[in-house]
Structure 1
């Protein structure tokens, strides 16, 4: 249940809880650990760049990674090492000692800067984000630790990507910062992890294929998780339990399929919930059952459509499921999930289960390049002029553990797309600011970028 409901990687609690505040204006910390003391940035600079556009060419770094010493953060750093050889980047965290250990463990280049800052120190965060084009955050649970960095990025006009799947928190930052982000031209793109990004982009691919090749609008898209080999970390479980333990307002927000819909946006679609049954897919020739991840992911897809003024179709609906071995196993999984979620709503049971699960900072399952995942997209057009609905099939293939190695690569490529392909994005008409989604902010530019990489491909079948 936890693996499929909340695969949004986050740092372990030992990395994020009760971060001690560091005196950024005090003595330089840890210079002896770096050959060049200028490589460790602390807030000694005059805040001269605060008014710069997020795409200003004279910013020091293309990307800065917050939470770099955490479980997912290290995967992000590894991918930046591989793909960011021509990129100026930095790592940020609350502990100078852990940043020094990270440098030694991963043998970071001398060109990679270190930024020491507390996750709650807004002024310190602004001094760093004003020097970067894009900030990547893996600092979860985001409901506890994520908001100050978003505020810093909005105020300094800095683009932002993260790995959250905490939709109540995303709703909160939409309400607080969307309008200011539009004004300051800061693109705040949450949910750039496996949980949402490939589903969001795959749906866009299918919808636009219908428009371009069939000249029809989309009626529905069903995304189906196929063969998958992945892992899950204690930090992810910690974030999942954090959402389950939320108050009544949080629970009501999570139950709303249009939780992330713009309050002044276009009309909502016809769907009022997620897949809640078992059926046989004639397109995929297999049994399909509910995916609990749809509780998060479907809201991102619906927001993407709304931000584009219902460009997918006025009656567009989205659903999500996963392949089952057979109908019997599908029904067993369905009711097991329902019972588990009912029990997990009770605090005493949730606390007991959490103690038996992997602790933050640890992981189980396949973590790394040995994993894989296949996603299938079944799109149906609107019936028009007496013609029956047409069906199209799309696919996304991932050649690595999607939850961690995959998530790290996804968020890095999204950040590099914002940092390095800004002109292409603007020429394609994508928005320059706001609290956005992967599809609404980068769309086909990001799909094309992934298709030039060897770890993930999007294509129509």
Structure 2
């Protein structure tokens, strides 16, 4: 890719997750990074830009793009010798023509403007058409499916790397699965037959207004028939599903709970379908790495079978109630407004831990197994912000390698490989794997 005006543009810095992403960029990325912040209100972004400059005064400062009638784009860049470059003034509208112009100026766009099915299709289109790399933090599987159908081939042909769900949904599950497959391949010299993964612990101070509004708005957006069609485990797969996936028993389907060796009692996970869809896209995009018989399951760890059944039934009832418009209307009265969420003080003790076990694709009654663990201490929204910010740096530093591994187009975080694992380790997200000796 030729030299462009920006290395990175962050869309949506006034949102709850977008702000954490901007903070992480300022505090952790190279000081010569050429970047800008972009949004729909110059008045809202101006104080954020001032606060970002105050965090680390001697680094390259973000510019601002605004999607308003009389927007002002102010870019403050500090060159290698510490000199401030000129100020650009641009008028930008949130439409295809203006987004095309933006995409042509930058290597990668991080998009934190949601709900994505409402606002972000033109952003993906502009990136796909112009060969601009793109990242977001959506968990909206139906929308991702639509984006794949519309823009995967275009993005691939134009050299764009587009990765959705680079947040709590679904980067942790995807990267832990990738690390386990890598361990099986390196230590056991074979493919992976199956991975069972679970959220061992997720202590969170609560969901942001944007997250809750997105969940509700999806039910407003699509009829039930399409929701069911777009949310299966293979809804995003790039190839056929394995023909001999281990099946659930009738009791497991009814109650949700089951006991799994080395993982304990597991039940239906609230983000299980989203995570499974992403991991299966990873495995079908890279079948030579995962193996053609690869199977993946995502669950939630609970203390006992009774609690597991309650969680499963409660989730099924909750989802059924969300199909009713009056219930959605009532919920909107009690949730955070978009752009707001739990305070940092409330999030101090937040914690995330995933456990997973991979079974090698070996003959015999007792194939080898590999245990994996992912841990992070801190706010889940700070975590999402750093995930997408670090993913952007991996692409900027390893663009050609990722294109070769992923083959380009709409791919997954697994395409970022060991470089992503290494960067996450440096900012507090650790992934560990070991071969079990029994």
| Short-chain TM bin | 0.7 to 0.9
Please name the residue that 2:72 is paired with.
none
1:98 aligns with 2:20: no
Q: How far is the alpha carbon of 1:188 from its aligned partner?
A: 0.7
* Contact preservation (8 Å) 1:400, 1:455: no
Return the TM-score normalized by structure 2: 0.85
1:375 aligns with 2:347: no
Alignment length (residue pairs)? 397
Q: How far is the alpha carbon of 1:432 from its aligned partner?
A: 5.3
Q: Structure 1 residues 185 and 369, CA, compared in 2 at 3 Å: closer, same or farther?
A: farther
User: Whole-Å Cα distance in 2 between the matches of residues 290 and 214 of structure 1?
Assistant: 30
Q: Which structure 2 segments of 5+ residues have no match?
A: 69-92
Deviation digits for residues 387-431 of structure 1 (CA, Å, limit 9, x no counterpart): 5222210111112222x00000000000111112224545xx323
1:250 aligns with 2:226: yes
User: Whole-Å Cα distance in 1 between the matches of residues 288 and 225 of structure 2?
Assistant: 27
Q: Structure 1 residues 103 and 142, CA, compared in 2 at 3 Å: closer, same or farther?
A: same
Please name the residue that 2:197 is paired with.
223
User: Whole-Å Cα distance in 2 between the matches of residues 124 and 255 of structure 1?
Assistant: 32
User: Whole-Å Cα distance in 1 between the matches of residues 188 and 176 of structure 2?
Assistant: 17
- Report the aligned-residue RMSD: 2.2
Please name the residue that 2:269 is paired with.
291
Q: Structure 1 residues 339 and 395, CA, compared in 2 at 3 Å: closer, same or farther?
A: same
Q: How far is the alpha carbon of 1:101 from its aligned partner?
A: 2.0
1:235 aligns with 2:210: yes
User: Whole-Å Cα distance in 2 between the matches of residues 397 and 355 of structure 1?
Assistant: 34
* Contact preservation (8 Å) 1:66, 1:135: yes
Q: How far is the alpha carbon of 1:249 from its aligned partner?
A: 4.7
Q: How far is the alpha carbon of 1:369 from its aligned partner?
A: 5.3
User: Whole-Å Cα distance in 1 between the matches of residues 243 and 109 of structure 2?
Assistant: 33
Q: 1:113 aligns with which of 54, 60, 63?
A: 63
User: Whole-Å Cα distance in 2 between the matches of residues 87 and 191 of structure 1?
Assistant: 24
Q: How far is the alpha carbon of 1:82 from its aligned partner?
A: 0.6
User: Whole-Å Cα distance in 2 between the matches of residues 272 and 434 of structure 1?
Assistant: 30
Please name the residue that 1:166 is paired with.
140
The alignment partner of 1:362 has SS state of coil
Please name the residue that 2:341 is paired with.
363
User: Whole-Å Cα distance in 2 between the matches of residues 450 and 148 of structure 1?
Assistant: 30
* Contact preservation (8 Å) 1:62, 1:132: yes
Q: How does 1:62-461 map to 2 (within 5 A)?
A: 62-84=7-29, 85-107=31-53, 111-117=61-67, 120-230=94-204, 231-245=206-220, 246-262=222-238, 265-271=239-245, 276=253, 277-284=256-263, 286-309=264-287, 311-364=289-342, 368=347, 370-384=349-363, 386-402=364-380, 404-425=381-402, 429-431=404-406, 433-439=408-414, 441-451=415-425, 453-461=426-434
User: Whole-Å Cα distance in 1 between the matches of residues 119 and 406 of structure 2?
Assistant: 27
Q: How far is the alpha carbon of 1:355 from its aligned partner?
A: 2.0
User: Whole-Å Cα distance in 1 between the matches of residues 243 and 413 of structure 2?
Assistant: 20
User: Whole-Å Cα distance in 2 between the matches of residues 273 and 135 of structure 1?
Assistant: 40
User: Whole-Å Cα distance in 2 between the matches of residues 159 and 390 of structure 1?
Assistant: 38
The alignment partner of 2:175 has SS state of helix
1:59 aligns with 2:4: yes
Q: How does 1:10-89 map to 2 (within 5 A)?
A: 53=1, 56=2, 58-84=3-29, 85-89=31-35
Q: Structure 1 residues 335 and 152, CA, compared in 2 at 3 Å: closer, same or farther?
A: same
User: Whole-Å Cα distance in 2 between the matches of residues 197 and 121 of structure 1?
Assistant: 29
The alignment partner of 1:392 has SS state of strand
Q: Structure 1 residues 365 and 393, CA, compared in 2 at 3 Å: closer, same or farther?
A: farther
User: Whole-Å Cα distance in 1 between the matches of residues 366 and 197 of structure 2?
Assistant: 21
User: Whole-Å Cα distance in 2 between the matches of residues 256 and 336 of structure 1?
Assistant: 20
User: Whole-Å Cα distance in 2 between the matches of residues 342 and 267 of structure 1?
Assistant: 28
